[in-house]
Amino acid sequence: MTNLMNRRQWLTRSGAALGGAVLAGYGGLSRELVASANASPNSPIRMMFNENPYGPSTAARKAMIAAFDEGNLYSRAAYNELRDLIAKQEGLSKEHILIASGSTEILNVAGLVYGLNNGEVVAPQPTFERLNTYAKNIGATIHRVPVDESLHFDLDGMRKEINKNVKLVYVCNPNNPTGTITPAKKLRPFCEEVSKETLVFVDEAYHEYVNDPEYSSMIDLVREGHNVIVSRTASKVHGLAGLRVGFGIADPKIIRHLQSRLTGTTNIIGLRAAIASYRDKEFQNFSRQKNAESKEIVYKVLRETGRRFLDSKTNFVFFHTGRPIREFRDAMREYGVEVGRPFPPYLDWCRLSMAKPEEMEKFAEAFGKVIG
Protein backbone atom coordinates (compact mmCIF):
# COMPACT_ATOMS: atom_id res chain seq x y z
CA MET A 1 0.00 0.00 0.00
CA THR A 2 2.73 2.37 0.98
CA ASN A 3 4.61 1.45 -2.17
CA LEU A 4 1.49 1.96 -4.19
CA MET A 5 0.92 5.38 -2.67
CA ASN A 6 4.48 6.39 -3.23
CA ARG A 7 4.36 5.27 -6.81
CA ARG A 8 1.09 7.11 -7.33
CA GLN A 9 2.50 10.27 -5.76
CA TRP A 10 5.56 9.97 -7.91
CA LEU A 11 3.52 9.54 -11.06
CA THR A 12 1.36 12.51 -10.17
CA ARG A 13 4.36 14.69 -9.56
CA SER A 14 6.33 13.69 -12.60
CA GLY A 15 3.16 13.95 -14.68
CA ALA A 16 2.59 17.48 -13.42
CA ALA A 17 6.18 18.35 -14.23
CA LEU A 18 5.90 16.90 -17.73
CA GLY A 19 2.61 18.67 -18.34
CA GLY A 20 4.18 21.88 -17.13
CA ALA A 21 7.15 21.38 -19.37
CA VAL A 22 4.92 20.98 -22.40
CA LEU A 23 2.77 23.97 -21.49
CA ALA A 24 5.68 26.19 -20.61
CA GLY A 25 6.64 28.17 -23.68
CA TYR A 26 9.15 30.87 -22.90
CA GLY A 27 6.95 33.84 -22.04
CA GLY A 28 7.37 35.27 -18.53
CA LEU A 29 3.77 34.76 -17.47
CA SER A 30 3.33 31.21 -18.71
CA ARG A 31 6.62 30.29 -17.10
CA GLU A 32 5.43 31.74 -13.82
CA LEU A 33 2.18 29.81 -13.97
CA VAL A 34 3.98 26.61 -14.76
CA ALA A 35 6.56 27.10 -12.08
CA SER A 36 3.94 27.68 -9.41
CA ALA A 37 1.76 24.83 -10.68
CA ASN A 38 4.71 22.46 -10.48
CA ALA A 39 6.04 23.53 -7.13
CA SER A 40 5.16 21.35 -4.17
CA PRO A 41 2.84 23.02 -1.64
CA ASN A 42 4.72 25.58 0.41
CA SER A 43 3.05 25.15 3.73
CA PRO A 44 4.31 26.18 6.17
CA ILE A 45 5.98 28.87 4.09
CA ARG A 46 9.68 28.06 3.91
CA MET A 47 11.55 31.25 4.62
CA MET A 48 14.46 29.63 6.42
CA PHE A 49 16.99 28.06 4.03
CA ASN A 50 17.49 30.68 1.28
CA GLU A 51 15.93 28.37 -1.28
CA ASN A 52 14.47 29.56 -4.57
CA PRO A 53 10.67 29.19 -4.29
CA TYR A 54 10.33 28.82 -8.11
CA GLY A 55 13.01 26.40 -9.17
CA PRO A 56 13.83 24.08 -10.81
CA SER A 57 13.13 25.88 -14.08
CA THR A 58 10.99 24.29 -16.76
CA ALA A 59 14.13 23.60 -18.82
CA ALA A 60 15.77 21.89 -15.83
CA ARG A 61 12.64 19.81 -15.18
CA LYS A 62 12.63 18.60 -18.79
CA ALA A 63 16.32 17.78 -18.61
CA MET A 64 15.83 15.82 -15.39
CA ILE A 65 13.05 13.73 -16.88
CA ALA A 66 15.17 13.01 -19.95
CA ALA A 67 18.06 12.06 -17.67
CA PHE A 68 16.08 9.12 -16.25
CA ASP A 69 17.20 7.29 -19.38
CA GLU A 70 20.81 7.85 -18.40
CA GLY A 71 20.30 6.63 -14.84
CA ASN A 72 22.18 3.43 -15.54
CA LEU A 73 25.27 5.30 -16.69
CA TYR A 74 28.08 6.84 -14.68
CA SER A 75 27.89 10.58 -14.95
CA ARG A 76 31.32 11.43 -16.40
CA ALA A 77 30.03 12.76 -19.75
CA ALA A 78 27.50 15.07 -18.08
CA TYR A 79 30.16 16.18 -15.58
CA ASN A 80 32.49 17.12 -18.42
CA GLU A 81 29.72 18.92 -20.27
CA LEU A 82 28.80 21.04 -17.25
CA ARG A 83 32.45 21.73 -16.46
CA ASP A 84 33.04 22.90 -20.04
CA LEU A 85 29.96 25.10 -19.92
CA ILE A 86 31.04 26.79 -16.67
CA ALA A 87 34.60 27.17 -17.95
CA LYS A 88 33.31 28.87 -21.11
CA GLN A 89 30.91 31.14 -19.23
CA GLU A 90 33.68 32.22 -16.84
CA GLY A 91 36.46 32.45 -19.41
CA LEU A 92 38.62 29.79 -17.73
CA SER A 93 39.99 26.39 -18.66
CA LYS A 94 38.21 23.21 -17.58
CA GLU A 95 41.17 22.47 -15.30
CA HIS A 96 40.14 25.49 -13.20
CA ILE A 97 36.76 23.94 -12.30
CA LEU A 98 35.81 21.33 -9.74
CA ILE A 99 32.16 20.23 -9.59
CA ALA A 100 30.97 18.70 -6.36
CA SER A 101 27.93 17.67 -4.39
CA GLY A 102 26.86 21.25 -3.71
CA SER A 103 29.34 23.98 -2.84
CA THR A 104 29.08 22.52 0.68
CA GLU A 105 31.39 19.75 -0.44
CA ILE A 106 33.91 22.28 -1.75
CA LEU A 107 33.71 24.12 1.59
CA ASN A 108 34.12 20.89 3.53
CA VAL A 109 37.05 19.63 1.53
CA ALA A 110 38.80 23.01 1.77
CA GLY A 111 38.21 22.96 5.54
CA LEU A 112 39.71 19.48 5.60
CA VAL A 113 42.73 20.09 3.37
CA TYR A 114 43.75 23.41 4.91
CA GLY A 115 42.61 22.68 8.47
CA LEU A 116 44.57 19.46 8.88
CA ASN A 117 47.96 19.36 10.63
CA ASN A 118 47.18 22.27 12.95
CA GLY A 119 46.12 24.51 10.12
CA GLU A 120 44.43 27.73 11.18
CA VAL A 121 41.59 29.59 9.52
CA VAL A 122 40.54 33.25 9.69
CA ALA A 123 36.84 33.96 9.26
CA PRO A 124 34.43 36.80 9.98
CA GLN A 125 31.50 36.45 12.35
CA PRO A 126 28.64 36.07 11.66
CA THR A 127 29.06 34.22 8.40
CA PHE A 128 28.21 30.91 6.72
CA GLU A 129 29.72 28.33 9.05
CA ARG A 130 30.17 25.22 6.92
CA LEU A 131 33.90 25.51 6.25
CA ASN A 132 34.70 26.73 9.76
CA THR A 133 32.72 23.95 11.39
CA TYR A 134 34.35 21.27 9.27
CA ALA A 135 37.84 22.61 9.93
CA LYS A 136 37.11 22.94 13.65
CA ASN A 137 35.85 19.34 13.79
CA ILE A 138 39.22 18.09 12.61
CA GLY A 139 41.10 20.17 15.16
CA ALA A 140 41.84 23.42 13.31
CA THR A 141 41.87 26.74 15.14
CA ILE A 142 39.42 29.30 13.77
CA HIS A 143 40.20 32.97 14.36
CA ARG A 144 36.89 34.82 14.41
CA VAL A 145 36.73 38.50 13.51
CA PRO A 146 33.45 40.24 14.42
CA VAL A 147 31.77 42.41 11.80
CA ASP A 148 31.82 46.15 12.40
CA GLU A 149 28.91 48.26 13.68
CA SER A 150 27.31 48.38 10.25
CA LEU A 151 27.60 44.55 10.15
CA HIS A 152 30.18 44.64 7.35
CA PHE A 153 33.46 42.72 7.39
CA ASP A 154 36.38 44.19 9.29
CA LEU A 155 39.03 43.39 6.68
CA ASP A 156 41.80 45.13 8.65
CA GLY A 157 40.88 43.06 11.69
CA MET A 158 41.04 39.90 9.55
CA ARG A 159 44.43 40.88 8.17
CA LYS A 160 45.75 41.25 11.72
CA GLU A 161 44.77 37.66 12.57
CA ILE A 162 46.97 36.17 9.87
CA ASN A 163 50.02 34.31 11.11
CA LYS A 164 52.27 31.68 9.55
CA ASN A 165 49.93 28.82 10.56
CA VAL A 166 46.89 30.35 8.87
CA LYS A 167 46.27 28.24 5.79
CA LEU A 168 42.98 29.75 4.67
CA VAL A 169 41.01 33.00 4.98
CA TYR A 170 37.28 32.66 4.40
CA VAL A 171 35.29 35.52 2.87
CA CYS A 172 31.62 35.11 2.04
CA ASN A 173 30.50 37.69 -0.52
CA PRO A 174 27.66 38.53 -0.34
CA ASN A 175 27.68 37.38 3.25
CA ASN A 176 25.21 34.96 4.79
CA PRO A 177 23.36 35.81 7.11
CA THR A 178 23.75 39.59 6.69
CA GLY A 179 23.09 39.71 2.92
CA THR A 180 25.61 42.55 2.59
CA ILE A 181 28.49 42.83 0.14
CA THR A 182 32.10 43.77 0.57
CA PRO A 183 32.73 46.24 -2.27
CA ALA A 184 35.24 45.15 -4.91
CA LYS A 185 37.43 48.19 -4.29
CA LYS A 186 38.09 46.87 -0.77
CA LEU A 187 37.91 43.13 -1.35
CA ARG A 188 40.19 42.94 -4.39
CA PRO A 189 43.24 44.59 -2.75
CA PHE A 190 42.58 42.50 0.37
CA CYS A 191 42.60 39.26 -1.66
CA GLU A 192 45.64 40.31 -3.69
CA GLU A 193 47.63 41.09 -0.57
CA VAL A 194 46.48 38.23 1.67
CA SER A 195 46.76 35.59 -1.05
CA LYS A 196 50.50 36.19 -1.14
CA GLU A 197 50.61 34.65 2.34
CA THR A 198 47.74 32.18 2.39
CA LEU A 199 44.79 30.86 0.38
CA VAL A 200 41.74 33.13 0.21
CA PHE A 201 38.42 31.32 -0.15
CA VAL A 202 35.66 33.55 -1.56
CA ASP A 203 32.21 32.01 -1.23
CA GLU A 204 29.96 33.51 -3.92
CA ALA A 205 26.84 31.39 -3.39
CA TYR A 206 24.58 34.44 -3.95
CA HIS A 207 26.60 35.97 -6.78
CA GLU A 208 23.76 35.81 -9.32
CA TYR A 209 21.42 37.85 -7.14
CA VAL A 210 23.70 40.85 -6.73
CA ASN A 211 22.76 43.97 -8.60
CA ASP A 212 25.17 46.53 -7.23
CA PRO A 213 27.94 48.25 -9.21
CA GLU A 214 30.19 48.15 -6.15
CA TYR A 215 30.20 44.36 -6.21
CA SER A 216 32.39 42.19 -8.36
CA SER A 217 33.20 38.50 -8.42
CA MET A 218 36.77 37.57 -7.46
CA ILE A 219 37.01 35.05 -10.31
CA ASP A 220 39.24 37.46 -12.23
CA LEU A 221 41.85 36.94 -9.50
CA VAL A 222 41.77 33.22 -10.27
CA ARG A 223 42.25 34.12 -13.94
CA GLU A 224 45.28 36.21 -12.99
CA GLY A 225 46.80 33.29 -11.08
CA HIS A 226 46.31 34.47 -7.49
CA ASN A 227 46.07 32.02 -4.62
CA VAL A 228 42.29 32.39 -4.49
CA ILE A 229 39.43 29.90 -4.70
CA VAL A 230 35.88 30.95 -5.52
CA SER A 231 32.85 28.78 -4.88
CA ARG A 232 29.49 28.99 -6.63
CA THR A 233 26.32 26.94 -6.51
CA ALA A 234 23.31 25.80 -8.52
CA SER A 235 21.26 25.84 -5.29
CA LYS A 236 20.18 29.47 -5.23
CA VAL A 237 19.12 31.42 -8.32
CA HIS A 238 18.87 28.13 -10.26
CA GLY A 239 16.60 26.56 -7.66
CA LEU A 240 18.40 23.21 -7.57
CA ALA A 241 19.28 22.95 -3.86
CA GLY A 242 18.00 19.41 -3.57
CA LEU A 243 20.01 18.27 -6.60
CA ARG A 244 23.38 19.08 -5.00
CA VAL A 245 25.53 20.76 -7.61
CA GLY A 246 28.22 23.31 -6.75
CA PHE A 247 31.64 24.40 -7.97
CA GLY A 248 35.08 25.37 -6.85
CA ILE A 249 37.03 27.63 -9.21
CA ALA A 250 40.77 28.00 -8.68
CA ASP A 251 44.22 27.45 -10.10
CA PRO A 252 44.46 23.90 -11.56
CA LYS A 253 47.04 22.94 -8.93
CA ILE A 254 44.58 23.79 -6.11
CA ILE A 255 41.75 22.08 -7.98
CA ARG A 256 43.75 18.85 -8.33
CA HIS A 257 44.64 18.95 -4.65
CA LEU A 258 41.03 19.39 -3.54
CA GLN A 259 39.80 16.82 -6.04
CA SER A 260 42.13 14.20 -4.64
CA ARG A 261 40.43 14.60 -1.24
CA LEU A 262 36.77 14.64 -2.35
CA THR A 263 34.60 11.85 -1.05
CA GLY A 264 31.30 12.54 -2.83
CA THR A 265 30.33 12.46 -6.49
CA THR A 266 27.71 14.22 -8.57
CA ASN A 267 24.65 12.50 -10.01
CA ILE A 268 23.30 12.50 -13.53
CA ILE A 269 19.96 14.13 -12.68
CA GLY A 270 21.56 17.09 -10.91
CA LEU A 271 24.18 17.56 -13.60
CA ARG A 272 21.65 17.51 -16.44
CA ALA A 273 19.39 19.93 -14.53
CA ALA A 274 22.32 22.29 -13.95
CA ILE A 275 23.42 22.19 -17.60
CA ALA A 276 19.91 23.18 -18.69
CA SER A 277 19.59 25.82 -16.00
CA TYR A 278 22.94 27.54 -16.61
CA ARG A 279 21.88 27.98 -20.23
CA ASP A 280 18.47 29.35 -19.27
CA LYS A 281 19.02 33.08 -18.74
CA GLU A 282 15.31 33.78 -18.80
CA PHE A 283 14.59 31.70 -15.72
CA GLN A 284 17.49 33.33 -13.88
CA ASN A 285 16.08 36.78 -14.70
CA PHE A 286 12.64 35.67 -13.63
CA SER A 287 13.97 34.40 -10.26
CA ARG A 288 15.84 37.66 -9.68
CA GLN A 289 12.81 39.76 -10.57
CA LYS A 290 10.47 37.89 -8.20
CA ASN A 291 13.08 37.95 -5.46
CA ALA A 292 13.39 41.73 -5.77
CA GLU A 293 9.59 42.09 -5.55
CA SER A 294 9.46 39.97 -2.38
CA LYS A 295 12.28 41.94 -0.79
CA GLU A 296 10.42 45.21 -1.38
CA ILE A 297 7.38 43.78 0.43
CA VAL A 298 9.54 42.75 3.40
CA TYR A 299 11.31 46.12 3.51
CA LYS A 300 7.94 47.85 3.58
CA VAL A 301 6.73 45.74 6.53
CA LEU A 302 10.01 46.34 8.38
CA ARG A 303 9.91 50.09 7.73
CA GLU A 304 6.33 50.33 8.90
CA THR A 305 7.16 48.52 12.13
CA GLY A 306 10.36 50.52 12.68
CA ARG A 307 12.72 47.53 12.55
CA ARG A 308 16.39 47.94 11.69
CA PHE A 309 17.34 45.87 8.63
CA LEU A 310 20.26 45.54 6.26
CA ASP A 311 20.18 46.31 2.56
CA SER A 312 20.31 42.79 1.16
CA LYS A 313 21.98 41.86 -2.12
CA THR A 314 20.74 38.29 -1.85
CA ASN A 315 17.51 36.29 -1.52
CA PHE A 316 17.21 36.88 2.23
CA VAL A 317 16.94 39.84 4.60
CA PHE A 318 18.59 40.17 8.03
CA PHE A 319 16.61 42.30 10.45
CA HIS A 320 16.39 43.16 14.12
CA THR A 321 13.49 41.41 15.82
CA GLY A 322 13.98 43.06 19.20
CA ARG A 323 13.28 39.73 20.89
CA PRO A 324 15.13 36.39 21.12
CA ILE A 325 15.23 34.71 17.73
CA ARG A 326 14.22 31.29 19.10
CA GLU A 327 11.10 32.79 20.63
CA PHE A 328 10.35 34.78 17.45
CA ARG A 329 10.90 31.69 15.30
CA ASP A 330 8.50 29.59 17.40
CA ALA A 331 5.86 32.32 17.34
CA MET A 332 6.11 32.74 13.53
CA ARG A 333 5.87 28.96 13.12
CA GLU A 334 2.52 29.06 14.94
CA TYR A 335 1.26 31.24 12.07
CA GLY A 336 2.65 28.99 9.36
CA VAL A 337 5.92 30.81 8.56
CA GLU A 338 9.34 29.18 9.04
CA VAL A 339 12.15 31.71 9.54
CA GLY A 340 15.92 31.27 9.80
CA ARG A 341 17.97 29.82 12.66
CA PRO A 342 19.94 31.82 15.26
CA PHE A 343 23.19 33.45 14.10
CA PRO A 344 25.28 34.20 17.19
CA PRO A 345 26.01 36.72 18.51
CA TYR A 346 23.02 38.35 16.75
CA LEU A 347 20.48 36.49 18.80
CA ASP A 348 17.76 39.11 18.47
CA TRP A 349 18.05 39.28 14.68
CA CYS A 350 16.30 37.16 12.09
CA ARG A 351 17.40 35.93 8.66
CA LEU A 352 14.34 35.74 6.47
CA SER A 353 14.53 33.99 3.08
CA MET A 354 12.31 35.28 0.29
CA ALA A 355 9.22 33.30 -0.68
CA LYS A 356 7.01 34.21 -3.64
CA PRO A 357 5.58 37.76 -3.57
CA GLU A 358 2.04 36.40 -3.16
CA GLU A 359 3.16 34.44 -0.08
CA MET A 360 4.55 37.54 1.58
CA GLU A 361 1.09 38.57 2.65
CA LYS A 362 1.03 35.60 4.98
CA PHE A 363 4.41 36.64 6.32
CA ALA A 364 3.20 40.24 6.84
CA GLU A 365 0.12 39.02 8.67
CA ALA A 366 2.11 36.67 10.93
CA PHE A 367 4.71 39.36 11.56
CA GLY A 368 2.01 41.84 12.55
CA LYS A 369 0.59 39.38 15.07
CA VAL A 370 3.95 38.36 16.52
CA ILE A 371 5.66 41.75 16.61
CA GLY A 372 2.63 44.03 16.66
Interacting residues toward ligand PLP by CB under 6 A:
50, 102-104, 128, 172, 176, 203, 205, 233, 235, 241, 246
> What is the closest distance, in whole angstroms, from the C-beta atom of residue 266 to ligand PLP in the complex?
12
Query: By C-beta, is 203 or 338 nearer to ligand PLP?
Result: 203
Q: How far is the CB of 105 from ligand PLP (least distance, A)?
A: 7
Of the pair 230, 254, the CB lying nearest ligand PLP is at 230
Closest CB 303 distance from ligand PLP, rounded Å: 26
d(CA 19, CA 62): 10
Question: What is the three-class DSSP state of 271?
Answer: helix
Nearest approach, Cβ of residue 184 and ligand PLP (Å): 18
User: Whole-number minimum distance, CB 217 to ligand PLP, in Å?
Assistant: 14
CB nearer to ligand PLP: pick between 152 and 323: 152
Residue 241 or 352 with smaller CB distance to ligand PLP: 241
Q: Which is nearer to ligand PLP, 151 or 172 (CB)?
A: 172
Three-state SS for 307-331 is: CCECCCCCCEEEEECCCCHHHHHHH
| Cα–Cα distance, 46 to 329 (Å, whole number) | 12
Min dist CB 72 to ligand PLP, Å, is: 26
Q: Is 219 exposed, middle or buried (0-12, 13-18, 19+ CB in 10 A)?
A: buried
Residue 181 or 301 having the CB closest to ligand PLP: 181
Residue nearest to ligand PLP (CB): 102
3-state SS string over 202-255?
EECCCHHHCCCCCCCCCHHHHHCCCCEEEEEECCCCCCCHHHCCEEEECCHHHH
